[in-house]
Amino acid sequence: MHATRNIVPIRVVLGTPAIASCAIAVIVVAATLSMLEPVLALHLATRLGVGPARVGLVFGVAAVATMILNPIYGRLADRYGARRLTMVGLMLEASVLPFLPLMWSYESAVGLSVLHASMAALAITPSLAYMGEATSEAGIGSFGVSYGLYNMAWGAGLLGGPALGGFLFERIGFARLALVWAPVIVAVTLLLARAGQRRIQVPPLEVR
């Protein structure tokens, strides 16, 4: 006889406040990062006259910075708590985002891009650990489902971010886009803060 397994439906996992709020936070961070790729490139080209190669270097330097910081952020998440660090990262990202349109030189573009990417990494790196913590504390054994939802949320943000960013950029410009989107990140932070760690009623064990 196989070991007993607790089969939890996806809707039950997604209905857990902590898990749902974490997934929403991942969508927003992924959308923010992906919407900046086309928007920031257009902004640098039109405002500062930066060519494609130098635009690529801006993103490359930011990527190197986050690559270095990710293990450090992971260590901080273990020490201070994944949920807390995710919320700090979200608030810092929301604070930095409105300054991106104020780039006045190529050097400032590199510096502000690195700063924003670093704050976004501070939110996204511990979020996976928080998803695991939320799953465990809710009394759910379906870590595979939770991590699947996490990856789905990340993909949804990457998919919708460029389209939404381009749409808003054409209509309201980069400065207003940043000012409009920053409160969205703050709202998600508040949602994450209010998400309870309520244990759900899992279905009866299914013996196979």
Q: What structural domains does the chain harbor?
A: 12-194 (1.20.1250.20)
| Tens-place pLDDT, residues 127-151 | 999 998 888 877 776 788 888 899 9
Please give the helix or strand (H or E) that residue 172 lies within, else none.
helix 143-194
Retrieve residue 167's tokens: 């749409």
For residues 150 and 70, give the distance between their C-alpha atoms in angstroms, rounded to a whole number. Answer: 18
Helices (H), 99-142: 106-137
For residues 196 and 18, give the distance between their C-alpha atoms in angstroms, rounded to a whole number. Answer: 6
Query: Which pTM value belongs to this model?
Result: 0.86
Mean pLDDT score across all residues of the chain: 87
The amino acid at 5: R
For residues 60 and 137, give the distance between their C-alpha atoms in angstroms, rounded to a whole number. Answer: 38
Give the number of other Cβ atoms within 10 Å of residue 148's Cβ: 13
| Tens-place pLDDT, residues 172-194 | 999 999 999 999 999 999 999 98
Contact yes or no for 106/54 (Cβ under 8 A): yes
Retrieve residue 162's tokens: 């460029």
Among the ranges given (10-24, 52-66, 160-174), the one the predictor scored with the smallest mean pLDDT: 10-24
pLDDT of residue 15: 75
